Chain A
């Protein structure tokens, strides 16, 4: 299975994951500082910053796009409960 790597900048840990993994599945296991609310893409609590590798994430769904707009998110922000890693390296840090 193709692999990707997610580097959590706040805790200094890089995790090798299967392609298609959602950030939420990794960040909680590894103890990164991203905090979650609804876990369903509606509340915006888990907004994080993609420091590098935005192109290696699946495009946001309509729901995620709407919530990001409502949260006045910048271009580097995604929701950790929604964002899916597809390939390569992605560097993230909390909100």
Chain B
């Protein structure tokens, strides 16, 4: 462990590289005034763009770069620990612009260096750098590939969708140091850099997971075994503090966050259907109840009904994340579904939804556009919508409630795989 205080600038004003381990330096940049990242994240005290330089007996590697506006800071730090003609290896764990902004200039200054990216990254590299497809040479790597620096070696972990298709981690084998990219990172700017010196960043760590990694939960769970089997002396993420004190604790926390958040009391064999509704005059509420009653006629389905006016969005999102199916009901007011429904649907990109069953229903007064709009949104979120939505004018009749009941039963049959296939001719479709 390095216990010397972190010095970020030299007396002459140059930015200083910070030793992280033997011949491993942090050469990133601090962005303390940033207050919003990628539109979706608040950053109460800014962020850091972490880049690292690793020296071996036969080469120098630069792992990730920084946002373009901070390139001077990055190059100033890099120059403290390596000459450009010594750089043999450039690794990009993730190609988002906050990590690749200084790459074009680095390639210009160190043209002999070999660029290593994940095998999912070439298209993104092309899109970011706008090269013609031939003028930039690079090597794609995947799980287990290694690059030698002489007495040290870098090994790559294939960890896609954490949080882009291209993401990977890089492991310095002999030293047990994981350069993890965005995973295990957070937006927290503190010049003391190390997790045992900086202020309390636990909120930022969890907030980052919830907004960046949670939509890719299954990919987190696929990647964790690759990390858990490693000897870990340090985790060096691409944002926020470097984890040198108890680094494995952050891996354990990720597993806790990625595994089921609710104690789901339904049996493992049961399917779960959650029905959310909002109702101006009670008509959509009555429909919700009839749908519930219909769904409950099918064994192996556990149904829950929630009035959107009676709760907050966040726990509802948690419920949907755990559920197998989602039915959502809204009246049509001024040609649209109502705002609380859109508020909920706008938050669902935070959780994995692909393949869940979706359905929409609602009562209307004039025109009834809401149901179709909700179905389009559910499909856009990659839910499957096998049962055409049900909408009815104003107060449901007994016959219409029977339709709702049948609709609920059909949803349950779909969830349990008992629905069978419906055959239609294209001419019958609108």
Contact = CB atoms under 8 A, between A and B. Distances in A.
B422 interface: yes
A35 B383 CA distance: 10
A30 B355 contact: no
Nearest to B378: A33
A18 B429 CA distance: 13
A17 B429 CA distance: 11
A16 B379 contact: no
A10 B384 CA distance: 6
A14 interface: yes
A83 interface: no
Interface string A6-38: 010011111111100100011001111101000
B426 A12 contact: no
A24 to B, nearest CB: 12
Contacts, number: 64
Nearest to B430: A29
Interface string B119-154: 110010000000000000000000000000000000
A72 interface: yes
B420 interface: yes
Nearest to A72: B120
Interface residues on A, range: 20 to 34
Interface residues on B, range: 20 to 34
A32 B375 CA distance: 11
A94 B384 CA distance: 9
Interface string B385-403: 1101000000000000000
A31 B423 contact: no
Interface string B418-430: 0111111110011
Contacts of B379: 31, 33, 35
A12 B386 contact: yes
Contacts of B355: 10
A10 B419 CA distance: 12
Contact of A31 (B119, B354, B385, B426): B385
Contacts of B426: 15-18, 21, 25-26, 29
A18 B425 CA distance: 9
Interface in A65-86: 70-72
17 contacts: A5-B423, A10-B384, A11-B385, A12-B414, A12-B421, A13-B421, A15-B423, A16-B425, A18-B426, A25-B426, A29-B430, A30-B429, A31-B385, A33-B379, A33-B384, A33-B385, A71-B123
Interface of A: 5, 7, 10-18, 21, 25-26, 29-33, 35, 70-72, 94
